Amino acid sequence: MITTPTEATAPTMTDRLGRPLRDLRISVTDRCNFRCTYCMPREIFGSDFRFLPRAELLTFEEISRLAHIFVGEGVEKVRLTGGEPLLRRDLELLIAMLAPIPGLRDLTLTTNGSLLARKAQLLADAGLARVTVSLDSLEDEVFAQLNDVGFPVSLVLDGISAAEQAGLRPIKVNMVVRRGINEASVLPMARYFRERGHTLRFIEYMDVGHSNGWRLDEVVPAAEILAIIDAEMPLAPLAPRYRGEVAERWRYRDGTEEVGVIASVSQPFCGSCTRARLTAEGEFFTCLFGVKGTDLRGPLRDGVSDEVVQALIGTVWQQRADRYSELRSAATSHLPRIEMSHIGG
């Protein structure tokens, strides 16, 4: 049975800053049915944008093989991402291949929730443990401004309900907060999900890629978000559950539920980052703000052994010294970076 990550399993290797490899995010598609302004703005990802052809995507068998190898290198948690991962046809077949991997403690998925109502039970039956749903407001007008396709809040909430009924728990909800657009939604979101027993996590608006027009003055710092909530619903800090947990956790002082903040802009956590990322076409990245990935699809399709792939992964990770968020400055703002929708968030 898959459980949440702990410190019980010793890492098999560390990078140049002593960080073990524990978490793997696998993008299964670069496509999405939303055009969120902070991720896939319509003016860049329009009707003429060239997404990856199917032949360039990793097959489920290739993803499963790589997941087995990564788990052998110390990975305990796999998260499926996109784009929107539920756009990948028959995704439950991949989940059924990943869930039994020995040593994998947590198999989860991040989705925009648009297809979750119809797929939640299939995902649970295949072995998915839990889901994280992205939702940036409870107001249709605000949410539509962000997702830019007019998708209603009610259908995302239907997906969350379906996930709960299917046993995909605990359910986490991610809210990206962008000043001038949805910071007024912070309190209504906190109230709503507190009452329903789901963990809400607020994410600072990040400068991933170059297409989202990121500006520092549009970032609502985590401290400000917490202060807004604490003024009405007092909070107390919680200790991290494991090394590499990116969300800073807080509980409501009356004992009901918790919230989290992911403060990669105002409070970088590079020093404890244990994440690697695999893009939909098989590039291995060691940082969300990665400049260049390492091709793993090519070696797989060339017929190399698992041992050769494992050695390649080990070499890349052991040479890793990424800490972009700690070094973020005007001098780093023009460095090339891969887009959020491509690297998997």
Q: Is 174 helix (H, G, I), strand (E, B) or coil?
A: strand
Q: Rounded mean pLDDT of 242-259?
A: 88
Task: Spell out the domains of the chain, with CATH numbers in brackets.
Answer: 23-343 (3.20.20.70)
Please give the backbone phi and psi of residue 236, each rounded to the nearest 5 degrees, phi first: -135, 140
More confident residue, 207 or 229: 229
pLDDT of 147 above 60? yes
Q: Give the chain's mean pLDDT.
A: 90
The per-residue pLDDT for 38 is 85
Consecutive H or E run containing 201: strand 199-204
* Residue recorded with tokens 């003016």: 43
Q: Rounded mean pLDDT of 260-270?
A: 85
The per-residue pLDDT for 244 is 73
With cut-offs at 50, 70 and 90, classify the pLDDT of residue 208: low
Q: How far apart are CA 345 and CA 341, in angstroms?
A: 7
Query: Which of 74-83, 236-245, 321-330, 332-341 is predicted most confidently?
Result: 74-83
Per-residue model confidence as pLDDT tens digits over 162-181: 999 999 999 999 999 999 99
The per-residue pLDDT for 146 is 94
Among 12-21, 57-66, 229-238, 264-273, where is mean pLDDT lowest? 264-273
Per-residue model confidence as pLDDT tens digits over 110-144: 999 999 999 999 999 999 999 999 999 999 999 99
Among 91-105, 157-171, 175-189, 283-297, where is mean pLDDT lowest? 283-297
With cut-offs at 50, 70 and 90, classify the pLDDT of residue 338: low
The per-residue pLDDT for 256 is 80
pLDDT of 322 above 60? yes
Q: Is 106 helix (H, G, I), strand (E, B) or coil?
A: strand
pLDDT of 341 above 70? no
Give buried/exposed letters for 50-79 (b at 16+ CB in 10 A, else e).
ebeeeeebbebeebbbbbbbbbbbbbbbbb
Consecutive H or E run containing 224: helix 222-232
Q: Is 156 helix (H, G, I), strand (E, B) or coil?
A: helix
